Amino acid sequence: MPRMTLRSALAVLILFALLAGSGIAAPPQKQPEASLYKRLGGYDAIAAVVDDFIGRLVADKQLSRFFAGASTDSKKRIRQLVVDQICAATGGPCVYIGRSMKAAHEGLNITESDWQLAVGDLVATLDKFKVAQKEKDELLAAVSSLKPDIVTVSAPKM
């Protein structure tokens, strides 16, 4: 093998320095993952998802009874609070100032069957908006964490 001259050694050193300076030789840096809020498309996307989801809940034969006596303004208030809650829970800039899930749902006697229908409605909404599986799973996990405070009537024992 030919011996490296001082000149060629210097050339190699300069090449390395240039590559390092340009970032080409630097090890790939892992970017921190964007918040779920951002990956869902931000505030307007979340608001559109919530509007569609609540529309399905209110139109659902079994679930409509929960909203039957609510005025238009009361439904708008619930809608806004759900938007704020999901925005805040997914890392967005909103602050949730509503009641706790326990306080808001206690006494409504929401059953396991009601819950399954609501989750089905949410999945249908997320599919309609073509939300990717990863974001869908993360949002469903966040919403499911609220279940113990929302469902107060346990499923009948088999």
Please give the residue ranges that form the binding site for ligand HEM (CB under 6 A).
63, 66-67, 78, 81-82, 85, 98-99, 104-105, 108, 110, 114-115, 118, 143, 146, 150
| Smallest separation, CB 113 to ligand HEM (Å) | 9
Q: How many helices (H) and strands (E) does the chain have?
A: 8, 0
What are 147's two structure tokens?
């279940």
Nearer to ligand HEM, 99 or 128 (CB): 99
The token duo for 158 is 């088999």
| Residues in the chain, overall count | 158
CB-wise, 126 or 150, nearer to ligand HEM? 150
Q: Please state the closest distance from residue 67 (CB atom) to ligand HEM, in A.
A: 6
Contact 70, 57 (CB under 8 A): no
Q: Which amino acid is at 63?
A: L
CB of 26 to ligand HEM, least distance (A): 43
Residue 98 CB, nearest approach to ligand HEM (Å):
3
C-beta of 59: minimal distance to ligand HEM in Å? 13
Between 92 and 114, CB nearer to ligand HEM: 114
In the complex, residue closest to ligand HEM by CB: 98
Whole-angstrom distance, CA of residue 33 vs CA of residue 90: 13
Angle of helix 112-128 relative to helix 133-144, nearest 10 degrees, comes to: 150
Q: Phi and psi dihedrals of 68, rounded to 5?
A: -55, -40
> Which of 8, 109 has the CB closer to ligand HEM?
109
